[in-house]
């Protein structure tokens, strides 16, 4: 079994490497995020131990980029302290498990073995509406293969519209599901519908007068 350890603290990296080699693994070490991304994209690792705070690219970003590239190697995220790591974020981005430092090597080994038994999880199915695609694991939207640059709110709105296509989605529904935290009104929905039209193309989002919106693939 071949593992990648991405860790920028030298002593920590060396200790992990020593322990894992002793446990029978083949181990590569990356000391920054970009190197970790490059190695993980090209070498078929069985699992990755990925520090979150890394030079050049965070462990979160490495995870996101790998998943967007279709690399489904199990990832164990490691955070320096409780609170630095947002479990929801990490799992949304496609990590499989996480550990808070300092962790015992025995615990790390047990968690790694559990991940290895499970293997690379299958890619979550893409949601497609015409030329639009949404990858829920990587949270990446694309139109005709081009990645769309959307804000969090725009993403939430488009995800809702795609998940309910071809149904017409009401403004009240969008308010409830996309703005659950904010005291806002339906004008906000209209404003964001405008933003989405600008990014998707005018015709892609149809206004159903007095009701709401529906995606309209060409
Ligand atoms: Ca670090």
Ligand 1: centre distance to CA 76 (Å): 14
DSSP collapsed to 3 states, 29-78: EECCHHHHHHHHHHCCCCEEEEECCCCCCCHHHHHHHHHHCCCCCCEEEE
125 by DSSP, 3-state: which?
Answer: coil
With a CB cutoff of 8 Å and minimum separation 6, the contacts of 158 are 132, 134, 141, 150, 196, 200
Residues in the chain: 218
| 218 residues of the chain, pLDDT tens digit each | 999 999 999 999 999 999 999 999 999 999 999 999 999 999 989 999 999 999 999 998 898 888 877 788 999 998 875 665 565 566 666 788 888 888 999 999 999 999 998 877 666 667 889 889 898 877 889 888 788 999 989 999 999 999 899 999 999 999 888 887 766 788 889 999 999 999 998 779 999 998 999 999 87
Note residues around ion ligand 1 (Cβ under 5 angstroms).
8, 51, 53
Ramachandran assignment for 17, one of left (phi > 0), alpha (psi -120 to 50 degrees), beta (any other): alpha
- Model-wide pTM > 0.85: no
* Geometric angle at alpha carbon 143, from 140 and 146, rounded to 5°: 75
CA of 216 to the centre of ligand 1 (A): 46
The answer to whether the peptide bond before residue 166 is cis (omega within 30 degrees of 0) is: yes
Dist. CA 117 → ligand 1 center (Å): 27
* Residue 75, pLDDT score: 94
Sheet holding 132-135, edge to edge: 127-129, 132-135, 140-143, 146-147
**C-alpha 7 to ligand 1 mean position (Å):** 6
Pairing of strands 212-215, 146-147: unpaired
SS3 16: helix
């Amino acid at each position: 079994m071949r593992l990648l350890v991405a860790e920028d603290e030298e002593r920590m990296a060396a200790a992990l490497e020593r322990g894992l080699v002793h446990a029978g693994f083949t181990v590569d070490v990356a000391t920054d995020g970009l190197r970790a991304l490059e190695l993980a994209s090209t070498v078929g690792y069985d699992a990755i131990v990925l520090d979150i705070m890394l030079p050049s690219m965070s462990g979160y970003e490495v995870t996101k980029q790998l998943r967007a590239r279709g690399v489904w190697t199990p990832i164990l995220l490691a955070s320096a302290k409780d609170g630095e790591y947002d479990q929801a974020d990490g799992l949304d981005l496609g990590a499989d498990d996480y550990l808070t430092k300092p962790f015992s090597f025995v615990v790390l080994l047990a968690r790694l073995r559990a991940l290895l038994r499970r293997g690379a999880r299958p890619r979550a199915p893409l949601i497609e509406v015409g030329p639009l695609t949404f990858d829920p694991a990587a949270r990446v939207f694309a139109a005709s293969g081009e990645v769309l640059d959307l804000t969090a709110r725009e993403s939430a709105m488009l995800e809702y519209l795609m998940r309910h296509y071809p149904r017409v989605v009401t403004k009240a529904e969008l308010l409830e599901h996309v703005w659950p935290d904010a005291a806002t009104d339906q004008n906000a929905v209209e404003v964001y519908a405008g933003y989405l039209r600008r990014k998707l193309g005018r015709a892609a989002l149809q206004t159903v007068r007095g009701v709401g919106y529906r995606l309209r693939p060409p």
